[in-house]
Structure 1
Amino acid sequence: MEELAGFVNGNVNRRKVLEILESKGASDPQRIAKIARLIPAATGKIIEELEASGLVQKTEDGKIDLTADGKIIIDYIRAL
């Protein structure tokens, strides 16, 4: 758990993407980029990293959503 928290907190934009997904729900990558004020390529890389870590997943309609682990890690980080 601490390792994942460190991974997320190691990059402010990773945390920002997770927080956007928590507050707005499943979103398409372009919307996430716009809300986070990131370029789409950077957002895509962050999503890939978070997906590889099991914190987000692509839904059937192509949106990005938090996994159960993603929700747990957000709560864990806020409690720190």
Structure 2
Amino acid sequence: MDELIGFVTGNKNRRKLLALLASRNELNGDKLAKNMRIARPSADKVLGELLDRKLVVQNDNSFSLTELGAAVEKRMQSI
């Protein structure tokens, strides 16, 4: 878990994306990029990194946190 927290906190866009999904539960890629104020390709890159580490899951066109992603995000709030 500490390794995942270090991975997420090492990049502001990863932190923002996890926090955004935690507060909104589920968003599509366009809305994530818009809310984060970054280009869609940048959002896709971050989503890919989080998908690879099983922190985010894709349901059709939307993304949401996995149980692991929610646990990491919750633990980051206490840091």
* Superposition TM-score tier, normalisation by shorter sequence: over 0.9
Query: What number of residue pairs does the alignment pair up?
Result: 79
User: Cα RMSD between the aligned structures?
Assistant: 0.6
Q: TM-score, normalised by structure 2?
A: 0.97
Q: Which runs of 4+ in 1 moved over 6 A?
A: none
Query: Counterpart of 2:27 in 1: which secondary structure?
Result: coil
Corresponding residue number in structure 2 for 1:47: 47
Q: Quote the sequence identity (%).
A: 34
User: Aligned with 1:27: secondary structure?
Assistant: strand
Mapped to 1, the partners of 2:61 and 2:37 lie a distance apart of 20
Cα displacement (A) at 1:24: 1.1
Gaps of 5+ in 1: none
Structure ranking higher in strand proportion: 2
TM-score (norm 1): 0.95
Secondary structure of the residue that 1:38 maps to in structure 2? coil
What runs of 5+ residues in structure 2 fail to find an aligned partner? none
